[in-house]
Each structure stands twice: as C-alpha cells, then as structure tokens.
A and B are shown apart, each in its own frame.
Chain A
C-alpha cells in the first residue's frame, strides 16, 4: 500500500495541536480561569452573570448596612441623651412638686426645665448628612420647633412616614421611627408632659406638678420602650452582616468552581502538552530531512 509521502501536514497539525494545548494550559494558569470567553463553557459563563450580580448585591447590602448602622447608632445616641435629659427633668419635677419650695427655687427649676426642653428639641432634630432622623419621611427640614402657643410647647413638622431599606435578599428593614411615634405617642408624650410640668411650676399647684411629673415618667417609659427598636435594628444588621460575609465566601467559591482553573490540573496539562510538543518537534526534526537521497553517493 502506498502511504502518504508528505508528512509535513500531519506533523504541522500535531505541532499546532500540542502548541494549542500548551497555550490553553498557560492561559488557565496565568488568568487562574478555566472560562475566559463564553464559548469555553457557555453554561458556566451564563451562571457567572448571576453569580457576579449576587456578589455585587452582597457588596451593596454590606455597604447599606454600614450606612444604616451609623444612622441608627446616631439616632440611638441622641435618644440616650434625651433619656438622660428627661431623667434629670423628672428629678427636677419631683423637687418642684414638694410644697416647701421658695418662688426663687421654683423659678430656678423652671429655667432648668426650659433648658432641658430646648435640649430635647435639639436632640429630636438630630441629622446625618442633612437628613433629619426623627422627621419621618419629611427629613429635609428640622422636625421640631419650639412653639409657646402649642400645648406641648413644640410643633412637629415631620410626618409619620417610615422607610425600609433592603439589606439582604427578601429582607427589608425599617430604618427610621418618626418623632411623632417616638416622643409623642398615645402611651406618653415627652414634650407635652414636660410643657405641662413647666406650666404647673409656673402657675399651678405642687399637686399639678406631681401629676405632670408622673406623666413625664410614663412618657419616659414609653420612650425607652420605643428605643428598643434601634437596638433591635442594629442587632439585626449585625447578624445580617455576618450572613452576607459568609455568602460572599460561598459565592467566591461558587465562582471558582464555575470558571476557576484547577491549577494542579493546568500545571499537569502544561507539562504533558510541553512533553508532547517536544516529542512532535523532535519527530519532525528526525523525519522531515531524511530521504533516500541521503544514502546515495
């Protein structure tokens, strides 16, 4: 049987093939990826779109959590200061409701209480980055202004709207509590009872002052009750953060499974391809130059 006398085609094909294998292994090792273009593995490339999006989401959720945690902590700190101020007001109220006070002392207490009222308004107008934390969704203007004509001594300019922010897939967390709910709810009205106490000390009886102080106590309890919202929210954010950090690890390992190169395998492939390539070249060098002419004199 006559055999193909021209081996150059086969030899070139073998050299190209081994070279191609070398390139593939080298590319996998240098990029660390098995899938560099979608046609390398269409399904994995398509799944990577979802994986990348999921990972981007997790990054954003974590960023949201940082922002929200700081907002919530600022709010909680402000409420903490308010609680301290109200405690002081209650102490003053107890002093003011004893019948043995001089007018001068009583005036002194009223002055102190007016100072506390002012401080509470400032605390209720706490803002972060121009956004007022206790104004509901009307957060662009200070929610509280002092108003001597109002029975509560203040005017609430905010609304009762709340915002929720997505911090994980399927988890939308409420991020604010309107001042109207926090300071002035049906269980107790911090501003109203404080104003009542001031009025009682200015023009009422010690018994009126006592009643007002008790009301302030109730409002205090209500406020500390509402304050739990912030603690809970921060706790939830912290646990979500842990979850998301775990998810990021999972997603990275998923991505690695999808498109990552098995470096051990790539290294082995490279060695094998190099050996095959050397062999093809050696064979070419041995076969191509020989012919009968070498043996004829």
Chain B
C-alpha cells in the first residue's frame, strides 16, 4: 500500500507536467504569427506503474517531449509552388515594364512609322514644297528616335535583369550556407531521438525562401536533407553547402556556375533566378530580333527604292537611312543619313516636280519585307508577342498565387497555431494544475492530521 508521500509525489509530477504543457501553449501563442512556425504539442505519458499486493497503482504522469506537428510532403509541395511563383512573378514584373512602350498604337515605332509614311504621302501632293520636305525628315528622325527608345528600354530591362543575377546568386549562397548549418543540427537532434522542432522550422522556412529564388529538389536522407538543383547539382549535403558562382563581368551576360565550375545557366528554370534568366535569354532576345529585323529590313528596302529616284537637284537618290550592316543592334543604330531636305529623292524622272518615286516609297507600306510581312504587320506581330508574353506571365502569377494560397492554408490547418485551441488547452492545463495543487494541500492536511495524532492540545 503506497503511502501519502507517493500521492504527494504524483501530485507534484502533475504540477510539473501541466506547467510544462502550459509552456508549450505559451510558446505556441507567442509564435502565432511567426512565418514557418509549426505548432508544438506536449506529449504526456503515464508514468510507470508499480504493484503492491497484487494491486497495480498508477505512477502519475510524465512529460515525454514537445513535438512539432508538421506534414513534410505538404512542405515539399509548397517548395515546388514557391519556385513557380518566384519564376512567374519575376517574369511578370520585367515583362510589364516592356509593355509600356508598346501600349499606345498611336505612339512608339508603330505610330512613328505610320506618321513617316503619311509625311511622304503629304509630300507627294506637292513634291517641291520645302516645308513638306522638312516634315519628311522630321518624321524620319522621330521614327529613328522611336526605334532607339524601344531598343534602349529593352536593353535597360535586360541589363537590370543581368545585374540581378549575381545578387540572386549571393542570396542563394547565403541561404544554402544557413540551411546547411541548421540541417546539421536537425540531423544531430534526430540522431539523439529528439524532436528538432524550432530548428527544423527555421530550416524549412529558409528552404522555402530558397525555393523562391531557384528551382531545387529536396531529398530526405539519413544525414538530413539533401538539396540539389533540378538537374542534380548539389547545393546542400548534410551540413555542407556548395555555393554557386556568377561571373561578375560587365561586358558579357552573367552565367551561373556550380561549385565544381560547371555552367548550369541553362538548367536553372524555377524561382526568381530562373525567371530572370528566361526573360533575359529567351523573351528579350526574341523581341530584340523582331525589332532589329524590322529596323534593318525597312531601312534596306527604303534605301533601295530611294536610290531609284532623283533628288530636287536631279541627282540619283543617296541612302536615306544609314545602312545597317549587322542586325544585332539595328534598332539602336537606326538613323537618318541625310539632313538636307533637298536630297529626298521624290522624283522618278529627274524633274524637281515629279513625285513618282515618292509614290513608290509610299507603296513600301504594303510591301512584304524579307521577314515575311509588311513593316506595320511586323510591328503588329511584335506587339502581339509582347502581349502574349505578358498575358502568359500574368496568368501564371494568378494561378501559382492561388495554389500557393491553398497549400499554405493546408499547411496551416496542420501546423498553424489556433488561438482558440491554445486557449482551451490553457484552461485545461490550468484546471489540471489547480486540481494537482489541491491534491497537494489535501495530502498536506492529511499528513498534518497524521502528525497531530496522539498530540494533546
């Protein structure tokens, strides 16, 4: 038969266990808004029983451990979706900057091209009119400026993206080295049979941040997590991180190298870095090619027709636009070659009053360039391209945000702190603590009763 002391020690255990459990509740409440925090639960267990006279007596309660509640699979899905989100948001942000210069059809290259043809048409009604000749030169220069503007804004966006590559790589390296440290700690604690709780929360949150930057693949091994790029280039193995490198070179585009020096630029597809590289290496060059083709082919065909005519003095037409030998920077170097309005080769018969060649030049409006369409249609294709890129990125942003929100909700339904739940627990532990304390006072008074036996007052 266990004595009063046993009851007392069981009651004290109850006080300790409930106090400990209240600690968990308190910690949960404190971290209710901490990103990546997984709620913890106190694992209470019956203490070993003991037997006396064939009766089994309960041994009280013990607080086994605090355990974080998490769903690792859900966590992996969140990483994947975060990569998509980082990618599409980066693409959307840079592409919507491009859209600005292609938004108003009466402005930009399209508007300037239209105005240039109109000025030629205007001149054709009176080819000897000096003002109308000057107007042709003015609108030709406007066209050149529009090409420059379009080219320079594409270049600026490209340069901005390029400069962000080494910055993002730095961020990635900082994160992987932190993750490696935490990864080591998690493995160590798990090895000791402890719940890594907070450390794991921190590590998972950092991996989530890393997913926003680059596409990674996460594998669980006995030494903790292994993080690699989607193509298997290691980033974190156990407590070791492998930094990526960007060649910080101003003259060429930044490439990304693995720690072993392998060029992995083309393999990076997800996350902010993937989005950056995709816009820089695919979308922008595509738009640039279309713009440059338009500029160089238009200048070439215009010059050819211009040379077939005669200027105001009856001389054969010179180059109207600067010839563009290479197409890589055609839009940027597009320029008007003549400054004297008299040099416009309006005439087809050598007389100053003839407008025959102007009519031919105006007709270029409807003539197919080598790229397969007339100048205005080529520009229209460019606008379509810009619009499609932007619309796709916008749709991707909306879709990934939605599914990420759902995943976050799911994760929160498993691991999120509910204040109502914690409050309930708090009351539960408080009551149990009070009850335990009452047992202590009761046992105490019983002991006093016992002590006072035989004592005369």
Report the separation of the CA atoms of residues A3 and B416 in the bound assembly, to the nearest whole angstrom: 9
- Considering the complex, which residues of chain A in the window 38-54 have a beta carbon less than 8 Å from any beta carbon of chain B? 38-43, 45-53
A49 near B380: Cβ-Cβ < 8 Å: yes
Q: Which of A114-146 contact B (CB under 8 A)?
A: 128-132, 135-140
- A164 in contact with B359 given A9-B412, A56-B118 (CB within 8 Å): yes
Provided the pairs A5-B418, A39-B390, A131-B126 are in contact, do residues A161 and B405 lie with their beta carbons within 8 angstroms?
no
Q: A46-B380, A136-B351, A296-B423 are in contact. Are A38 and B386 (CB under 8 A)?
A: yes
Which of A47, A64, A139 is the one whose CB lies under 8 Å from B125? A64
Q: Is B419 in contact with chain A by the CB < 8 A criterion?
A: yes
Q: Which residue on chain B has the smallest CB distance to residue A42?
A: B387
> Which residues of B sit under 8 angstroms from A291, Cβ to Cβ?
419-420, 423
Tell me, in angstroms, the Cα distance from A218 to B362 when the chains sit together.
41
Q: Chain B's nearest CB lies how many Å from the CB of A198? A: 31
Whether A46 contacts B353 by the Cβ 8 Å rule is no
A137 to B390, Cβ gap below 8 A?
Answer: no
How far is A45 from B401 in the complex, measured between Cα atoms in Å?
A: 26
Task: Tell me if A68 is interfacial: C-beta within 8 Å of chain B.
Answer: yes
Report the stretch among B82-90, B93-101, B261-269 that lies at the interface: B93-101
Could you tell me the distance between the alpha carbons of A82 and B187 in the complex, rounded to whole angstroms? 109
CA distance in complex: A46, B382 (Å): 8
Which residue, B106, B381, B389, B427, has most C-beta atoms of chain A within 10 A?
Answer: B106
> Knowing A2-B414, A296-B423 touch, does A163 contact B387 (C-beta < 8 A)?
no
| Interface assignment of A103: CB less than 8 Å from any CB of chain B | no
A57 CB–B CB distance under 8 Å: yes
CB neighbours (8 Å) of A5 from chain B are 412-413, 416-421
Contacts of A3 in B (CB 8 A): 413
Given A52-B110, A52-B114, are A138 and B352 neighbors across the interface (CB < 8 Å)? yes
Given A38-B99, A39-B387; A140-B352 close (CB under 8 Å): yes
Name B325-380 residues within 8 Å CB distance of A: 347, 349, 351-356, 359, 362, 365, 376-377, 379-380
A28 to B161, CA, bound (A): 31
Beta-carbon contact of B424 and A292 below 8 Å: yes
Question: A236 to chain B: which residues have CB within 8 Å?
Answer: none
Q: Which residue of A lies closest to B401 (CB)?
A: A13
B111: nearest residue on chain A (CB-CB)? A52
In the complex, chain A residues whose CB is within 8 Å of the CB of B95? 39
- The smallest beta-carbon distance between B352 and chain A, in angstroms, is 5
B378's nearest neighbour on chain A, judged by CB, is A49
Q: By the criterion CB–CB under 8 Å, are B383 and A163 in contact?
A: no
Q: Across the two chains, which residue of chain A brings its CB closest to B108?
A: A49
B356 touches A42 (CB 8 A): no
**B409, A139: Cβ atoms closer than 8 Å:** no
B405 touches A13 (CB 8 A): yes
A293 within 8 A of B: yes
Q: Is B102 an interface residue (CB 8 A)?
A: yes
B331 → A minimal CB distance (Å): 17
Q: Does B103 lie within 8 Å of A36, measured CB to CB?
A: yes
Chain A 247-297 residues near chain B, CB threshold 8 A: 291-293, 296
Q: 0/1 per residue, A90-130, Cβ < 8 Å to B?
A: 00000000000000000000000000000000000000111
B100-141 CB contacts (< 8 Å) to partner A:
100, 102-103, 105-106, 110-111, 113-115, 117-118, 121-122, 124-129
- The reply on B4 being an interface residue by CB < 8 A is no
CA distance A165 to B105 in the complex (A): 26
The interface bits of chain B over 175-217 (1 if a CB of A lies within 8 angstroms of the residue's CB, else 0) are: 0000000000000000000000000000000000000000000
The residues of B that contact A242 with a CB separation of less than 8 Å are none
Partner of B118, one of A49, A57, A68, A130: A57
Tell me the nearest residue of chain A to B419, going by C-beta.
A291
- A159 lies within 8 A of chain B by Cβ: yes
Query: Which A-chain residue is minimally distant from B125 (CB atoms)?
Result: A67
What CA separation (Å) do A43 and B393 show in the bound complex? 16
Q: A38 near B351 (CB under 8 angstroms)?
A: no
* Complex Cα gap A5–B376 (Å): 56
Let me know if A245 is at the binding interface, CB within 8 A: no
> Is B413 a contact partner of A131 (Cβ separation < 8 A)?
no
Contacts of A63 in B (CB 8 A): 122
Asked if B390 and A38 sit within 8 Å, CB to CB, the answer is: yes
* A4 at the B interface (CB under 8 A): yes
B residues within 8 A CB of A87? none
Q: Which residue of B lies closest to A291 (CB)?
A: B419
- Residue in chain B with minimal CB distance to A50: B380
Q: How far is the CA of A167 from the CA of B172 in the complex (A)?
A: 63
* Any A CB within 8 A of the CB of B7: no
Distance from B180 Cβ to chain A, minimum over Cβ atoms (Å) = 30
B408 interface residue, CB < 8 Å from A? yes
Asked, given contacts A45-B383, A49-B105, whether A60 binds B121 with beta carbons under 8 Å apart, the answer is: yes
- Which residues in chain A, 2-21, are within 8 Å of chain B measured between CB atoms? 2-6, 9-10, 13
Nearest-Cβ distance from residue A73 to partner chain B, whole angstroms: 14
Among B125, B391, B416, contact of A175 (Cβ-Cβ < 8 Å)? B125
The residues of A that contact B418 with a CB separation of less than 8 Å are 2, 5
CA A59 to CA B351, docked complex, whole Å:
28
Determine the chain A residues whose CB is within 8 A of the CB of B355 once the complex forms. Answer: 137, 163-165
Q: Which residues of A contact B388 (CB under 8 A)?
A: 39, 42
Contacts of A53 on B, CB cut-off 8 Å? 105, 110, 113-114, 376
In the complex, residue of chain A having the shortest beta-carbon distance to the beta carbon of B388: A42
Q: Is the CB of B128 within 8 A of A140?
A: yes
A235 near B: Cβ within 8 Å?
no
Bound: A175/B118 CA distance, A: 18
Question: A163 to B127, alpha carbons, bound, how many Å?
Answer: 10
**Per a CB cutoff under 8 Å, which of B359, B391, B405 touches A165?**
B359
In the complex, A260→B172 CA distance in Å? 45
> Is B384 located at the chain interface by the 8 A CB criterion?
yes
Q: Are B128 and A139 in contact (CB under 8 A)?
A: yes
A137 B353 Cβ-Cβ under 8 A = yes
- Chain A positions 58 through 79: 1 when the CB is less than 8 Å from some CB of chain B, otherwise 0: 0111011001100100000000
B residues contacting A by CB (< 8 A) are: 32, 95-96, 99-100, 102-103, 105-106, 110-111, 113-115, 117-118, 121-122, 124-129, 347, 349, 351-356, 359, 362, 365, 376-377, 379-381, 383-384, 386-391, 393-394, 401, 405, 408-410, 412-414, 416-421, 423-424, 427
- Across the A-B interface, the 10 shortest Cβ-Cβ residue pairs: A42-B387, A39-B390, A139-B353, A38-B387, A5-B418, A137-B354, A46-B384, A52-B105, A49-B380, A137-B351
Extra inter-chain contacts (10) besides given A41-B387, A43-B384, CB under 8 Å: A4-B409, A37-B387, A38-B390, A39-B386, A39-B393, A42-B386, A46-B384, A49-B379, A64-B121, A292-B423
8 contacts between A and B (CB under 8 A): A6-B32, A38-B391, A39-B99, A46-B383, A49-B380, A56-B111, A59-B118, A291-B420
